[in-house]
Structure 1
Amino acid sequence: MMLFLFNLNNMVFYTESDWRGVMNHIFKLAFIFIINIIFLINASATTMDKDKFVEANGIKIHYVEEGEGPPLLLIHGGGLTAKSWQGLAKEASRYFRVIMPDSRGHGLTNNPQGTFSYDLMTEDMAAFVKALKLEKPLVMGYSDGGMVVLKLTSRYPDLARAAIVGGATHRFATTHYMQGMEIFYGKGMPQGQLTDRDLDKMASDAPGMVKFYQNMHHPEQKDYWRTFLEGVWPMWTTPTSLTEEEVKKIHIPVLLLDGDRDEFFTVEEVTQLYRLLPQAEMTLIPGSGHAIFQTPGKTPLFYALVLEFLQRQLPKAS
C-alpha cells in the first residue's frame, strides 16, 4: 500500500461553533460558484462526440465518447451528467478511449420506474460494460459514481483493470455526511422521502442548487428538479455501506482521491477505506472540498494525479 497526504500539517483549527458557522457559509458560497461554473462550461462547450445510446439492464443509457486507446469509464456524481467530465476527458482522451455515460435518471438516460439505488446503478454499469464489450476498462467514479465503482469492483472483481474513487467512501449517510447535506440543501431536510413542503423549503433555502439541477437535466421541464429529488433523495439519505468483507474483495489497484475539506466524508473515513483495500493509494488535495475536480486552482493537480495513476496501470511495452 502507498499513502500520500498533502499539506496536513498546515490545517487551520477552529472551535466547533466557529467552524460550523464560518465554514458552512464559505462552503455554500463556494459550491454555488462552482456549480454555476459547471453550468457555464456545459452551456458553452462543444459536444464531445455524437450522442450514443445502448440498452442495458432494462434502461436506455445515454453516453458520449472521446479519444482512442485503452477504455476508461467515467461515472459521474449524483445530480450531474456525463458533461461534468468534459475537462478531464479533454486531457485523458490523448491516451484513452474515454466513455462517459449518464447514470440512471440523469441527463438523457431514462429511469422508467423512477427508482434509484446504488445496487441498481451498479448493475446498470455492469450491463453497460458488457453491452459495449469493454475488456478490462479502467474505471473512475466521483461521489455517487465512487460508491458505484466500489460496489462494481467488489461484486465483479475481474471486470476492471484498476479504479479511481473520488469524493466517496464505503459508507454513505453518516453523521458528517448529513451535515454536508444541510450545507447544500438547507437545514431540517429529512432522511428518506421528501414531501412537497420539504421541496418548497429547499427551493427557498437553496435556490442555486435548484437552478443547477433544472439547467443540468431538463430545462424545458420547469419542475423536473422536484421529480428528480423526490426519486433520488431516499438513496442519498438512507445509510448504506459495503462491509469489510465486500471491500476486501476489491483486489485491483485503487486510487482514493479526495479533498481534505470534503463536506461529506472525513479524512478519517477515507483512511478507513484505504486500510481495508489490498492495493490502495490515497491522495488528499489540500484546500479542496467535495467538488475535487472543479476546485478553483486545483484542477491541474487533479488532472495530473488521475492521469499519472491511470498510465501506471497500463501494460508496459516489451
Structure 2
Amino acid sequence: MERKDVNTFYRESGSGFPLVLIHPPVLTSRIFNYQHTELSRCFRVITYDIRGHGNTPCANPSFSIQTLSADLLALLDELGVEKAIVCGYSAGGTIAQDFVLRYPERVHALVISGGFPEVASWFVEQEFRLGIHFAKHHPLLLINSLAWSHQVTATDRHQIAEECKKGSPKFWRRFYEECFGQSCTKALPQIKVPLLLFYGSRCFHFLPYQKIYQRLVPQTKTVIVPGVFHQIPVKKHHFFNQTLTTWAKSIR
C-alpha cells in the first residue's frame, strides 16, 4: 500500500469481520503470528509494519501519532475495510486510541493490551526513557531484549529479532517520543465503541490505568490475565485470542 512517503507492508489472513492489530515501537507485525494462526478462523486478520519498522521503509523520521493514524486509515481504504475492530498492543494502543478518536466511523470496537491513555506513572515513564536511550545508543541490545521477552520458542526469538533489525532506530526513538508526549485522557469519554482491556497480573505499574478507562469510557470490559507480565498477545496467546473472540461475538 503506497502513500507519498511510505509503502506500508501488511499481511492478512482469514475471512469474516476485519480485525486490525497494531504493534509497539521496535517490534513488527511478526509479533502477531499467533493471532494469524488462531484468529483467522473467525476474523479477517490484518497486521502491518508501522513506518520505519520491519518491512515498511520510510525516508523521513519526522512523524506524529496523527501521521500513524493517517497511515492506518490509508491502509484500510486500500483494503476496502469500512469498519474494523482495532487492537493496539502496548504503545500500539496509543495509535489505536488516536485512530478511534479521529475516525470513529471506521471503528466497530477497540481492544488494548497493556495500554495507557498517557504516560502518567514513574515506572512507565522510566520504561519509555530507557526505550529512547537504547534506541539511540544500543539498538541491538534493545532488539535482543524484546525478542527474548516475547519468545514462546527459540524460533520466535530469532524471527522477531531478524524482523526488528530491518527497521530504523531513528523511527523507534521517534515512536517512543511521540507516545511519551501523547495524552488522550480528557478525550476518553468521546470513545463510544466497546472497549476491551487486557493487563497482566504481574505488570503492576500498568494495572492502575484500567481504573481511568473504566471511569471515562462507558463500554469498558477489563480482563486481568494471571501469571503474566506485559506480553499477553504472545505469552498467553490462546487465552488472549479466545477471550477476544468471545467478546467480539457478544457485542455484535
| TM-score of the superposed pair, with normalisation by structure 1 | 0.67
Is contact 1:173–1:239 with CA below 8 Å preserved after alignment?
Answer: no
Moved segments of 4+, more than 3 Å: 179-182, 210-214, 224-233
Equivalent pairs counted in the alignment come to: 241
* Structural mapping, 1:235-254, within 5 Å: 235-236=178-179, 238-244=180-186, 246-254=187-195
1:209 aligns with 2:145: yes
Judging changes above 3 Å, is the alpha-carbon distance between structure 1 residues 167 and 57 closer, same or farther for their aligned structure 2 residues?
farther
In 2: Cα distance, 1:313 partner to 1:76 partner: 24
Gap change, CA 1:64 and 1:157, over 3 Å in 2:
same
Structure 1 contact 103–109 (Cα < 8 Å) conserved: yes
Structure 1 letter corresponding to 2:247: F
Question: Highest Rg: 1 or 2?
Answer: 1
CA distance in 1, matches of 2:60, 2:111: 30
Q: Corresponding residue for 1:306?
A: 244
CA distance in 2, matches of 1:273, 1:158: 20
Give the aligned partner of residue 258 of structure 1: 199
TM-score (norm 2): 0.83
Larger % of helix: which?
Answer: 2
Please show how residues 144-223 of structure 1 align to structure 2 within 5 Å. 144-172=91-119, 174-181=121-128, 185=130, 199-200=137-138, 208-209=144-145, 215-218=162-165
Distance 2:115 2:18 in 1: 22
RMSD: 2.8
Q: Which position in structure 2 is the counterpart of 1:82?
A: 29
Q: CA deviation at 1:227?
A: 4.0
CA apart distance, 1:208: 2.9
Q: Shift in Å at residue 214 of structure 1?
A: 5.5
- Hey, what's the Cα distance between the residues in 1 that align with 2:4 and 2:243? 33
Instruction: Give percent identity, aligned residues only.
Output: 27
Residue 76 of structure 1 deviates from its aligned partner by 1.6
d(CA) in 1 for partners of 2:123, 2:183: 15
Q: Is the 8 A contact 1:203 1:210 kept in 2?
A: no
Q: CA 1:195–1:90 in structure 2 vs 1: closer, same or farther (change >3 Å)?
A: closer
1:136 counterpart (77, 80, 83): 83
Secondary structure of residue in 2 paired with 1:73: strand
Question: Please, which runs of 5 or more residues in structure 2 have no aligned partner?
Answer: 149-159
Q: Which runs of 5+ in 1 are unaligned?
A: 1-53
- The reply on whether 1:280 has 2:217 as its aligned counterpart is no
CA distance in 2, matches of 1:195, 1:281: 34
